[in-house]
Amino acid sequence: MDLLGPFPTSNSGNKWIVVATDYLTRYAETRALPKGSAAEVAKFFVENIVLRHGAPEVLITDRGTAFTADLTQAILRYSQTSHRRTTAYHPQTNGLTERLNKTIADMLAMYVDVEHKTWDAILPYVTFAYNTAVQETTQMTPYKLVYGRSPATTLDAMLPNVTDEENIDVTAYLQRAEEARQLARLRIKNQQTTDSRRYNLRRRFVEYQPGDRVWVWTPIRRRGLSEKLLRRY
């Protein structure tokens, strides 16, 4: 789980996005927040995670105050959720959420208004689009891995239903869903092995000494707009 932002204050008064993703299915939950406070994060955890999916065994976050606050820690204790914090200045520890953050920001940038005031109104649609898109690693959609089926859309309502899913045996349905999750788990493991091998081939160990000269990149900020929401082209 992570906080994305701050963004320009939206028409609804929001400045932050709290993002959570499941490591197996890649399913994402998001919510726009006014302050990104511990109370808002704790409420999101209860309403969007626990009440929808059940309490997770493990929660990985950075060391932000919204996640380390007493209120958040109390909620995690009550839900019997183990809290693991990432290493300081090493966001790769929570790489899956970091990649999701970039994906969400890139998708928002495609549809947000020029003044960046409507990003929170677009957020639910962007999240749904992400959850119903086929993931490269699992080769399935997060939605199908969670619910065992593809979502019904307005297009499905207009077209005739050529399947006979009403007569599918419940046991067979559950077994098929579990087999999909097992296959996703295997594909994730294989992809992690491939990524690790590729990373080690390119990795160069660099050791800096006091007094060494280094380049520092300082991005140019545009006042009143968010760099994350600027269109790439």
Q: To the nearest whole percent, how much of the chain has pLDDT over 70?
A: 79
User: Taking 90 as the threshold, does the pLDDT of residue 200 lie above it?
Assistant: no
**Residue 125 φ then ψ, to 5°:** -70, -40
Q: Are strands 58-61 and 82-85 parallel, antiparallel or unpaired?
A: parallel
pLDDT of residue 214: 87
Are 180 and 140 a contacting pair, CB within 8 Å? yes
Q: Could you read off the pLDDT of 24-69 as tens digits, one per residue?
A: 889 999 999 999 999 999 999 999 999 999 999 999 998 899 999 9
| pLDDT tens-digit series, residues 101-145 | 888 888 888 888 777 888 999 999 999 999 999 888 888 899 988
Query: Per-residue pLDDT tens for 145-197?
Result: 888 888 887 777 777 665 555 556 667 766 777 777 777 777 767 766 766 67
φ and ψ at 20, to 5 degrees?
Answer: -135, 140
CATH code: domain 1-131 is: 3.30.420.10
Domains of the chain: which residue ranges? 1-131, 134-202
> Is residue 20 very low, low, confident or very high in pLDDT (cuts 50, 70, 90)?
very high
Largest CA distance in the chain: 73
> What global pTM score does this model have?
0.71
Query: What's the one-letter identity of residue 35?
Result: K
Tell me the CA distances in angstroms from 119 to 63, 131, 224, one per residue in order: 26, 18, 14
> How does pLDDT run across 38-50, given as a tens digit for each residue?
999 999 999 999 9
Residue 168: its pLDDT value, please? 62
